[in-house]
Structure 1
């Protein structure tokens, strides 16, 4: 390893988490299927030292609900995506809080659900896929949601009474 890389790696290991900043990225539904689920979403995300964005919570802009999500999930989730899908970042929907309601809204009848996002970039549209695992153990694609970039919030949207995601099922 080259001598100049050691200090750089040490700096990024210490400064990376400290330099992360929380961002609130807002998106509007861009098609009929997505509008039937929600009018829009806000992503609570961390932007790292080198600009990578990692999502940690999804907030329903119109229904004032939220659910925690964390990066990672089984490889079978990606394999269930429709042919030609370029989204690859799997997020597990935490079952606590509004996560259970979100999972049921995205994949009615599934035991568990995951969200698969493309690379989150400021000013760009975003596609989200929902994939569920059914009682028979099979992974199936549930829905494709399309969003247009709306902007960035300085703070998260105000939450209303009850912090559960209340999305109508399609």
Structure 2
């Protein structure tokens, strides 16, 4: 019994070292996505066993970002077109640039949700925007398709705030 606790303790101690924040950049892969967003960088938290949760969407063509929170109504998932495999619902935070993003994706809706599939480095990603209108009617607004471009890392603390204080690409 005691021997089985040692590997478990090692995993629990290593948890903070394994969990981290990543920045995954994507380019628009179709005409509709290009017209709406061009490209995005997703700020993601990677958990202990590789599970990824998206925290923020950052525009790669203009200054702007929107926070999103995991979770939302199941009706958003049910509004997807037949055959869509995405299932994780995120709510767009209606503060700052989030309000503008929601209006651009689902004009006229009271609330906008994003439904994503599994987000992974080196893989394309599809995001579905679903809006909620008065009377709790949910409608699919648009599917955004992206090709993976690369992963970004924050600069070292010594350069933050200096002339080199922007996000810098890393090679994989």
TM beyond 0.5:
yes
Q: Deviations over 1:76-110 (max 9, x none)?
A: 01000000000001001111121111100110000
- In 2, Cα distance between equivalents of 1:114 and 1:13: 34
Match in the other structure for 1:51: 50
Match in the other structure for 2:30: 31
Match in the other structure for 2:138: 139
1:96/1:17 CA distance change after superposition, 3 Å: farther
**Number of corresponding residues:** 156
- In 2, Cα distance between equivalents of 1:119 and 1:5: 32
- In 2, Cα distance between equivalents of 1:91 and 1:69: 6
> In the alignment, is residue 114 of structure 1 matched against residue 119 of structure 2?
no
Match in the other structure for 1:76: 75
Please state how far the C-alpha of 1:158 moved relative to its aligned partner: 4.7
Pick the structure with greater CA Rg: 2
Match of 1:101, SS state, is: helix
Match of 2:80, SS state, is: coil
Match of 2:76, SS state, is: helix
On the 8 A contact 1:73/1:114 being kept in 2, the answer is yes
- In 2, Cα distance between equivalents of 1:63 and 1:17: 33
> In the alignment, is residue 149 of structure 1 matched against residue 148 of structure 2?
yes
Extract structure 1 runs of 4+ deviating beyond 3 A: 3-8, 10-19, 156-159
On the 8 A contact 1:17/1:48 being kept in 2, the answer is no
- In 2, Cα distance between equivalents of 1:5 and 1:138: 51
Match in the other structure for 1:167: none
**What is the aligned-residue RMSD (CA, Å)?**
2.3
- In 1, Cα distance between equivalents of 2:16 and 2:121: 20
TM-score normalized with structure 2 length: 0.82
The answer for unaligned runs of 5 or more in structure 1 is 160-170
- In 2, Cα distance between equivalents of 1:55 and 1:83: 24
1:20/1:33 CA distance change after superposition, 3 Å: same
- In 1, Cα distance between equivalents of 2:104 and 2:6: 48
- In 2, Cα distance between equivalents of 1:66 and 1:12: 34
TM-score normalized with structure 1 length: 0.83
The answer for unaligned runs of 5 or more in structure 2 is 156-164, 168-172
